[in-house]
């Protein structure tokens, strides 16, 4: 049996990564039949964590993991590390005697608890004595409801988490209302104002990414762009000169390519350029771009090997709006991308679009769309989790996150 796992980041009010919510699926079928559904689902969660590794999935941050009532009362989660696991109780769970007893056992074992899609109701109130987090859907609730719940829960040591945050306005309102943590689409595609312009450093970094990942590499074009931007040049050379293996001081793009060789130079310079794009964003934004890029590249290597470098670039640029603060269409209008790659990013037709759609669907746990895209690409769906695991491992290896 193959397990599927998606992860969605949770941030604090400063934009620092706090945790991931992990979403699981049993495999090629969306559900298990019969009375063994809960036990089988819990088994898949355990197997998926063993296959992927909790540390590899979360980078040492906490993991929020949903549980059904049956999984909760049977105590199946005792194999997960209490120090890094937040047991998230689904909104369908009521506080009967068995549920309360299970929560007591989990708290004694050192686990933290969260309530998902919180709406205050009598059947839920006994659980408020045990939970550490309350998650509120800001799209499905009103400001007056949230204010009332904040007031009622204010005397308890409960941290409030706003989920389904989809715009800057919603984030700022949730922050003002007293929420401590935030989760949602805003953090991957921020809402920005049309008067903003792309800073020259970021625009040049984008152009370097484009040129480095073209099938035919033109060193002169990269050199010309680097010469326009002293800060980017300093970052490129400082990064390479800091490597113990460099053996010589590098002062030009041409020297760097001679030292590393073309394939290694392309990848290294792409990482440095991407870091320039994300220097004023949470480090997780850059990491997410790298996971997408490597995922797209690995899928392309199976489907259309000659176009793998182009799909790596598609993956990198797919979240560039979150790094730059401009709509993707406006970003692409300024860097003159190859038409088929631009189409993959905007309209997503053909196999390139299905490849990008596959990774974005996997990220959010849209398993039906994962199945459709995998079938369209001719990639066995059971292979997708392994590709995702490889992409996460690669991104963790190459991206040195600021601490």
CB 182 within 8 A of CB 165: yes
Pick from 131, 115, 43: which is nearest to 79 by CA?
43
Long-range contacts of 98-104 (CB under 8 A, 24+ apart): 98/73, 99/69, 99/72, 99/73, 99/127, 100/126, 100/127, 100/130, 101/73, 102/72, 102/73, 102/75, 103/72, 103/127, 103/130, 104/130
- In the chain, list all ranges with CATH 1.10.3210.10: 200-398
Token pair for 128:
């408020």
Q: What is the pLDDT along the chain (403 residues), one digit of tens a residue?
A: 456 777 888 999 988 889 998 877 655 544 434 444 465 456 556 655 666 777 777 878 899 988 888 888 887 777 788 998 999 998 888 899 999 999 999 999 999 999 999 988 888 889 999 999 999 999 999 999 999 999 999 889 999 999 999 888 899 999 999 999 999 887 764 333 333 457 777 888 888 888 877 767 788 877 777 766 666 667 667 766 665 455 567 777 788 788 778 777 877 788 778 878 877 777 788 888 889 999 999 999 999 998 888 888 889 888 888 787 777 887 888 777 788 888 889 888 889 999 999 999 998 888 889 999 999 999 988 899 899 989 988 888 877 654 4
pLDDT reported for residue 190: 39
Please give the model's pTM, rounded to 2 decimal places.
0.67
Element (H, E) at 153: helix 143-153
Phi/psi for 193 (5° steps) reads -100, 145
| Residue range(s) of every CATH 3.20.20.450 domain in the chain | 4-187
Block residue for tokens 């050199």 = 223
Task: Classify domain 200-398 at the CATH topology level.
Answer: Hypothetical protein af1432 (1.10.3210)
DSSP readout, 297-349? HHHHHHH-GGGHHHHHHHHHHTTHHHHHSS-HHHHHHTTT--HHHHHHHHT--
Length of the chain: 403
pLDDT at position 379, please?
Answer: 92
With beta carbons less than 8 A apart as the criterion, state whether 297 and 394 touch: no
Structure confidence at residue 31 (pLDDT): 40
Query: What CATH number was assigned to the domain covering residues 4-187?
Result: 3.20.20.450
Residues 6 or more apart whose CB falls under 8 angstroms from that of 218 comprise 211
288: left (phi over 0), alpha (psi -120 to 50) or beta: alpha
Which pLDDT value is given to residue 188? 60
The two tokens of residue 376 are 């369209």
pLDDT score, position 30? 42
User: 309 with 215: CB under 8 angstroms?
Assistant: yes
Alpha helices (H) in 165-280, listed in sequence order:
168-177, 200-212, 219-228, 230-241, 253-260, 262-277
Query: What pLDDT was estimated at residue 207?
Result: 84
Per-residue pLDDT, 38: 62
| pLDDT score of 230 | 67
């Amino acid at each position: 049996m193959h397990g599927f796992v998606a992860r969605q980041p949770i941030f604090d009010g400063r934009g620092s990564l706090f945790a991931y919510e992990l979403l699981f699926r049993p495999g090629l079928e969306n559900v298990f039949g019969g009375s063994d559904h809960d036990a089988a689902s819990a088994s898949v969660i355990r197997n998926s964590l063993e296959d992927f590794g909790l540390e590899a999935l979360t980078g040492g941050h906490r993991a929020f993991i949903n549980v059904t009532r049956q999984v909760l009362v049977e105590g199946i989660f005792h194999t997960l590390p209490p120090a890094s696991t937040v047991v998230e109780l689904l909104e369908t769970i009521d506080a009967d005697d068995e549920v309360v007893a299970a929560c007591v056992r989990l708290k004694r074992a050192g686990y933290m608890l969260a309530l998902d899609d919180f709406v205050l109701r009598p059947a839920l109130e006994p659980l408020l004595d045990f939970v550490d987090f309350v998650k509120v859907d800001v799209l499905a609730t009103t400001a007056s409801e949230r204010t009332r719940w904040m007031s009622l829960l204010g005397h308890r040591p409960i941290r409030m988490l706003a989920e389904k945050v989809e715009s800057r306005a919603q984030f700022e309102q949730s922050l003002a209302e007293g929420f401590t943590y935030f989760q949602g689409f805003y953090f991957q595609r921020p809402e920005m104002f049309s008067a903003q312009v792309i800073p020259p450093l970021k625009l040049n970094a984008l152009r370097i990414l484009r040129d480095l990942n073209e099938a035919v590499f033109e060193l002169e074009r990269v050199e010309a762009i680097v010469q326009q931007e002293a800060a980017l040049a300093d970052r490129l050379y400082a990064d390479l000169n800091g490597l113990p293996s460099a053996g010589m001081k590098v002062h030009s793009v041409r020297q760097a390519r001679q030292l590393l060789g073309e394939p290694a130079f392309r990848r290294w310079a792409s990482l440095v350029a991407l870091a320039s794009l994300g220097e004023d964003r949470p480090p997780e934004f850059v990491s997410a771009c790298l996971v997408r890029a490597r995922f797209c590249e690995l899928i392309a290597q199976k489907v259309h090997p000659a176009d793998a470098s182009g799909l790596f670039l598609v993956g990198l640029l797919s979240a560039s709006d979150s790094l730059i603060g401009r709509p993707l269409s406006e970003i692409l209008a300024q860097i003159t991308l190859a038409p088929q790659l631009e189409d993959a990013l905007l309209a997503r037709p053909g196999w390139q679009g299905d490849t990008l759609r596959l990774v974005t669907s996997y990220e959010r746990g849209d398993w039906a769309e994962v199945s459709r895209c995998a079938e369209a690409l001719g990639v066995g769906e059971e292979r997708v989790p392994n590709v995702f695991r490889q992409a996460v491992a690669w991104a963790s290896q190459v991206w040195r996150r600021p601490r």
